[in-house]
């Protein structure tokens, strides 16, 4: 058996392990069932990849995240390691061949969604495989008390029946003590070992600021901290608006959301990773698997939906162990907004039934059919067709996704149907006048048989690869061919893909998951309450609040969070007279705006607002025509 450190050096070019990695790998190689709780950036994937490479056989990895599966498979393949992922895009015949390759083709990793374990063909082939380890990523999903509980994770226990002598490694970045206990029970751990790295991040300053103008506060933070930054927002529109605002203010900024094309995502990501752009403004679709150690600030413009998700997103700052900042910006309307965003629009069981039935009708799924069929999905068109509230419908679809009724993949996708309307001779005469289109047109003709006789669905990304260009160029050529009456073109843009994971049974389908939905909605209410408690509690160290939530109740005060800093500056009680004297001193030299006063004084926004109000009432100052303050 190859020594783990040799594998680490050969494939990852590292000479030492991160904290707890070596201990976890050793326990796994000794056949122990293990639970690894490592915070974001702790190197969870190596904990199963290295022992799997050290032993003969294949490692089965269970993950609910298709994008993460693809990223890890691509990364392994680039290292020359044979790996595959059975994602929803593959047909039954494809899966049949791929599973045979896992048995006979010396593959080292097979990535599966938990839903795939329900298929007889998958179970039958796994029984025949030489499995050396079962790795369960995002293991908190198996607990009904865990963030993002997925009932399909209960299927993982089937693997223990199929491969009874193989040990299990469960991994998660965030789990409360109750969830830790649940994971061990649900995965039938025997003589298990728990490895938990403290969630304490001594270099990370957790800050909560109550502000009236969030844009202005962002500018202040970025001016003070000029290294890489991530700004998290709630929707796609805000990513573009804030990024453009920052560019106008002289910052280098880009944006990222699920509606961008693959090329746009890659370009924007590369600009940020190489520090060509300081700021990445993104929805929470951004961040998975990112390893950028020099992120100085992570700013949340909106309140997060749970402390679990916040801890992971905030944890992307300061991985180089230098001081970094995780900032939440809030104002008075945020509490109402977060309750509306996550609580008041939780869909009822009856509404979920309606959405599911209409979704089946939308794709013409017959009763008893549809299992593992995949369809391009335009969310806005669907809501418009049935006059559904978009937020309520989105949450209903997310519920169907989490409970394994459907798989909803949110990604920008172009779908193109093409048919040539002219003869071969006409095409070649056309090419003589349009030489720049030659490679793309010839690739189309050679790839798609029957394209002269009927509409054919084409893959524009595949065409781009074959023509050694990008997808936008292919689309441009198709549009030109359409304008010149060479082809018929049905070009549609879809922002999602839906895979039905169960046969259609209408209300019966939803009745089976009704209790789970009700329990999860109660959990969601508790999670939102925890977020509000965190941002509103200004007497307890922010780091202590977060660590206590995850079961670490004896942690020290951090000394660098917004609460600790406030406590340091408030050692001597201040009176309103002190604040009035300070403002008067600043205004004695020049008339100043409230923003300038905030910058030049040691007061926070609330203190400044109250002081200015008091000074106006006492006729000590007045507001000028230029909206500045002057002494009377």
Q: Are residues 208 and 191 in the same domain?
A: no
Report the 10 Å Cβ neighbour count for 14: 13
Of 196, 227, 246, the residue that ends a domain is 196
- Residue 331 is classified by DSSP as -
Phi first, then psi, for residue 385 (nearest 5°) are -60, -35
Report the 10 Å Cβ neighbour count for 134: 23
138-153 as b/e: b if 16+ CB within 10 A:
bbbbbbbbbbbbbbbb
Q: What is the pLDDT of residue 605?
A: 81
| Whole-structure pTM value | 0.71
In a domain, 119, yes or no: yes
Q: Are residues 293 and 346 in the same domain?
A: no
Condensed to tens digits (0 to 9), the pLDDT of residues 48-103 reads 999 999 999 999 999 987 778 888 998 999 999 999 999 866 777 889 999 999 99
Alpha helices in 288-433 (DSSP H): 307-314, 334-339, 349-362, 379-386, 390-402, 424-433
Query: Are 372 and 500 in contact, with CB atoms under 8 Å apart?
Result: yes
Phi first, then psi, for residue 455 (nearest 5°) are -65, 130
Residue 212 binned pLDDT confidence (cut-offs 50, 70, 90):
confident
High-pLDDT (> 90) share of the chain, %? 59
In a domain, 567, yes or no: no
Phi first, then psi, for residue 370 (nearest 5°) are 100, -10
Residues 6 or more apart whose Cβ sits within 8 Å of residue 396 = 347, 351, 352, 355, 356
Q: Are residues 28 and 57 in the same domain?
A: yes
* 106 φ/ψ sector (left φ>0, alpha ψ -120 to 50, else beta): left
What is the rounded radius of gyration, in angstroms, for the C-alpha atoms of the chain? 28
Give the H or E element holding residue 194.
strand 193-196
In a domain, 301, yes or no: yes
Q: Are residues 226 and 325 in the same domain?
A: yes
Residues 6 or more apart whose Cβ sits within 8 Å of residue 308 = 140, 147, 174, 527
Q: Report the mean per-residue pLDDT for the chain.
A: 90
Q: Are residues 220 and 160 in the same domain?
A: no
High-pLDDT (> 70) share of the chain, %? 97
Alpha carbons 182 and 143: distance in angstroms, whole number:
6
Report the 10 Å Cβ neighbour count for 48: 27
Alpha carbons 135 and 133: distance in angstroms, whole number:
6
Query: Are 401 and 408 in contact, with CB atoms under 8 Å apart?
Result: yes
Alpha carbons 560 and 557: distance in angstroms, whole number:
9
User: What is the average per-residue pLDDT within 499-518?
Assistant: 93
Q: Are residues 37 and 64 in the same domain?
A: yes
| Pairing, β 324-330 against β 295-300 | parallel
Q: What is the pLDDT of residue 374?
A: 87
> What token pair was written down for 306?
């749970």
- Residue 275 is classified by DSSP as T
> What token pair was written down for 597?
């006063």
User: What is the average per-residue pLDDT within 475-487?
Assistant: 92
Condensed to tens digits (0 to 9), the pLDDT of residues 535-572 reads 999 999 999 999 999 888 889 999 999 999 988 766 55
Q: Are residues 228 and 354 in the same domain?
A: no
Alpha carbons 392 and 435: distance in angstroms, whole number:
50
Domain at 597, CATH number: 1.10.10
Q: What is the pLDDT of residue 354?
A: 97
Domain at 357, CATH number: 1.10.10.10
Q: What is the pLDDT of residue 495?
A: 67
- Which residue is associated with the tokens 């009176």? 575
Burial class (CB in 10 A: 0-12, 13-18, 19+), 376: middle
> What token pair was written down for 23?
């201990």
**Sheet containing 487-494: order of strands:** 456-458, 413-420, 487-494
For the chain, the domain total comes to 5
User: What is the average per-residue pLDDT within 336-355?
Assistant: 88
Report the 10 Å Cβ neighbour count for 423: 10
Query: Are 601 and 608 in contact, with CB atoms under 8 Å apart?
Result: yes
- Which residue is associated with the tokens 């699920």? 258
> What token pair was written down for 377?
């999905």
Residue 349 binned pLDDT confidence (cut-offs 50, 70, 90):
very high
* 20 φ/ψ sector (left φ>0, alpha ψ -120 to 50, else beta): left
In a domain, 566, yes or no: no
**Of 42-46, 137-141, 144-148, 162-166, which range is least confident?**
144-148
User: What is the average per-residue pLDDT within 15-35?
Assistant: 94
Q: Are residues 70 and 138 in the same domain?
A: yes
| Cα–Cα distance list, 601 to 89, 278, 538, 595, 631 (Å) | 59, 28, 21, 10, 16
Condensed to tens digits (0 to 9), the pLDDT of residues 220-235 reads 999 999 999 999 998 8
> What token pair was written down for 630?
């002057």
Domain with 446 in it: 413-494
CA angle (205 as vertex; 204, 209 as ends), nearest 5: 145
Of 196, 225, 258, the residue that ends a domain is 196
Residue 417 DSSP SS3 = strand
In a domain, 287, yes or no: yes
Domain at 145, CATH number: 3.40.50.300
In a domain, 56, yes or no: yes
Q: Are residues 219 and 161 in the same domain?
A: no
Residues 6 or more apart whose Cβ sits within 8 Å of residue 27 = 34, 193, 195
Q: Are residues 381 and 490 in the same domain?
A: no
- Identify which has the larger pLDDT, 285 or 494: 285
The gap from C-alpha 604 to its chain's centroid, in whole angstroms, comes to: 33
499-535 as b/e: b if 16+ CB within 10 A:
bbbbebbeeebbeebeebbeebbebbeebbebbbebb
Q: What is the pLDDT of residue 177?
A: 87
Alpha carbons 194 and 343: distance in angstroms, whole number:
34
Condensed to tens digits (0 to 9), the pLDDT of residues 255-311 reads 998 778 778 888 999 999 999 999 999 998 787 667 788 999 999 999 998 998 899
Condensed to tens digits (0 to 9), the pLDDT of residues 155-201 reads 899 999 999 999 999 999 878 888 999 999 999 998 889 999 888 99
In this structure, the chain runs to a length of 632
Q: Are residues 59 and 186 in the same domain?
A: yes
Q: Are residues 187 and 212 in the same domain?
A: no
Query: Are 53 and 11 in contact, with CB atoms under 8 Å apart?
Result: yes
In a domain, 531, yes or no: no
In a domain, 529, yes or no: no
Of 174, 196, 218, the residue that ends a domain is 196
Q: What is the pLDDT of residue 288?
A: 63
- Which residue is associated with the tokens 């230029």? 626
Alpha carbons 514 and 519: distance in angstroms, whole number:
9
Phi first, then psi, for residue 412 (nearest 5°) are -65, 135
């Amino acid at each position: 058996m190859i020594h783990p450190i040799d594998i680490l050096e050969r494939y990852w070019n590292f000479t030492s392990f991160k904290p707890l990695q070596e201990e976890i790998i050793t326990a796994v190689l000794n056949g122990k069932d293990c639970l690894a709780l490592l915070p974001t950036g702790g190197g969870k994937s190596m904990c199963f990849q290295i022992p799997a490479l050290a032993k003969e056989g294949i490692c089965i990895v269970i993950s609910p995240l298709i994008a993460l599966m693809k990223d890890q498979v691509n990364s392994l393949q680039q290292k020359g390691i044979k790996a595959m992922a059975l994602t929803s895009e593959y047909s039954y015949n494809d899966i049949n061949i791929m599973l045979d390759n896992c048995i006979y083709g010396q593959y080292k990793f097979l990535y599966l969604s938990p839903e795939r374990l329900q298929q007889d063909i998958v179970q039958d082939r796994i029984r025949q495989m030489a499995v050396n380890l079962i790795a369960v990523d995002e293991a908190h999903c198996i607990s009904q008390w865990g963030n993002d509980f997925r009932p399909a994770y209960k299927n993982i226990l089937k693997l223990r029946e199929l491969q009874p002598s193989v040990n299990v490694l469960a991994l998660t970045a965030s789990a409360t003590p109750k969830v830790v206990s649940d994971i061990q029970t649900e995965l039938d751990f025997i003589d298990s070992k728990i490895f938990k790295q403290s969630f304490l991040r001594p270099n990370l300053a957790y800050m909560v600021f109550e502000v009236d103008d969030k844009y202005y506060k962002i500018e202040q933070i970025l001016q003070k901290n000029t290294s890489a930054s991530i700004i998290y927002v709630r929707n796609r529109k805000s990513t573009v608006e804030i990024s453009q605002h920052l560019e106008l203010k002289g910052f280098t900024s880009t944006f990222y959301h699920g509606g961008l094309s693959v090329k746009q995502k890659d370009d924007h990501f590369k600009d940020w990773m190489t520090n060509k752009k300081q700021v990445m403004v993104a929805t929470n679709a951004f961040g998975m698997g990112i390893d950028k150690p020099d992120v100085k600030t992570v700013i949340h413009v909106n309140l997060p939906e749970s402390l679990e998700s916040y801890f992971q997103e905030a944890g992307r700052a300061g991985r180089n162990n230098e001081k970094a900042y995780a900032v939440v910006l809030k104002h008075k309307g945020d509490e109402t907004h977060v309750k509306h965003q996550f609580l008041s629009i939780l869909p009822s069981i009856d509404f979920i039934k309606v959405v599911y039935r209409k979704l089946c009708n939308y794709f013409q799924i017959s009763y008893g059919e549809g299992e593992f069929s995949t369809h391009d999905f335009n969310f806005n068109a669907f809501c418009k067709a049935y006059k559904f509230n978009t937020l309520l419908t989105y949450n209903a679809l997310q519920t169907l996704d989490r409970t394994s009724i459907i798989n909803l993949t949110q990604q920008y996708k172009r779908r193109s149907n093409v048919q040539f309307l002219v003869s071969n001779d006409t095409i070649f005469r056309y090419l003589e006048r349009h030489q720049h289109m030659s490679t793309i047109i010839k690739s189309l003709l050679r790839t798609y048989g029957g394209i002269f006789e009927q509409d054919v669905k084409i893959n524009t990304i595949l065409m781009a690869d074959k023509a050694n260009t990008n997808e936008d160029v292919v689309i441009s050529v198709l549009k030109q061919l359409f304008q010149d009456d060479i082809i018929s073109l049905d070009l549609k843009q879809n922002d999602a893909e839906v895979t039905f994971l169960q046969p259609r049974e209408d209300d019966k389908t939803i009745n089976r998951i009704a209790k789970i939905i009700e329990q999860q909605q109660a959990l969601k209410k508790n999670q939102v309450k925890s977020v509000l408690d965190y941002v509103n509690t200004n007497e307890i160290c922010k780091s202590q609040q977060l660590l206590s939530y995850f079961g670490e109740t004896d942690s020290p005060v951090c000394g660098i969070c917004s609460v600790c800093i406030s406590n340091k500056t408030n050692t001597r009680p201040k009176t309103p007279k002190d604040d009035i004297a300070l403002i008067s001193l600043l205004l004695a030299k020049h008339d100043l705006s409230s923003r300038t006063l905030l910058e030049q004084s040691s007061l926070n926004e609330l203190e400044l607002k109250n002081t200015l109000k008091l000074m106006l009432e006492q006729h000590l100052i007045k507001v000028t025509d230029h909206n500045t303050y002057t002494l009377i």
